[in-house]
Chains A and B, each alone.
Chain A
Amino acid sequence: MKIHTRRFGDIEVPNELAISIPDGILGLPDAKRYVLLEHDSEGTPFKWLQAIDNPDLAFIVMDPHLLVDPYDARFDGETSAKLGVSVAGKEFAMMAIVNIPRENPIAMTINLRAPIIVHLEKRVGWQVILPNEDYPIRHRLFPDRPEEEPPKKD
């Protein structure tokens, strides 16, 4: 299928790679179909989760296991009930949304608390809020480095 994207132009993607996110990402419930792209990501662990039906909408995502190992993403009953399968690690891929402030990339953060969990075979996924309160919603990927004045956030 051909996908229009603002960042990467028009691209051709095999239909079977589409991921359905029936509830959408929190705050963006209308976008229910996505595809994972690796454009522009050499030398980084990032991928792009591009909305199929909205050329402007894409998230930078990353496997949280690369930062936190073990990553305690024990699914609560809600997720396994929604997926209709019993949970086993290998069937699922996990991606956490990364936020890279343009004016200060060093201050980039990743949402460890609410990853997107995708059943690889069924090609269906959800953004799940994990019960583990130790996982921050904004986890700094580069805590060691001095940074310029961080943007004010509330």
Chain B
Amino acid sequence: MLILTRKTGEMIRIGDDVAVSVIEIRGNQVRLGITAPLSVSVHRQEVYDQIQEQNLEAARARPSDKVLIQSLWQKRDAGTGKK
């Protein structure tokens, strides 16, 4: 990991197309501005991690009780008055 120290108002350039700007520092919070092309995704790390974790858990899951799951849906549809 490359570690750089920046002051408010300073920027970092990543590759040719991505720039990170330090907008404001308040206490232990940093406000960052990110400029990137539309094809590059930018997300908070926690969101990314949680989605990955959920995907892996879902991939491992082995639902076994088909009858129970069907009856849950029947009750649900009955409750909401759907078809």
Contact = CB atoms under 8 A, between A and B. Distances in A.
The prevalent SS among residues of B at the interface is helix
The prevalent SS among residues of A at the interface is loop
Q: How large is the interface on B (under 10, 10 to 19, 20 to 34, 35 or more residues)?
A: 20 to 34
A98 B74 contact: no
Interface of B: 37-41, 43, 47-48, 50-59, 61-66, 68-70, 72-74, 76, 79
Contacts of B43: 129
Interface of A: 25-28, 40, 42-46, 57-60, 76-78, 80-82, 97-102, 105-106, 108-109, 111, 113-114, 127, 129, 137-138, 141-142, 144
Contact of A99 (B39, B48, B54, B66): B54
Given A60-B58, A97-B54, A100-B63, A106 B70 contact: no
Contacts, number: 91
Contact of A59 (B40, B58, B72, B74): B58
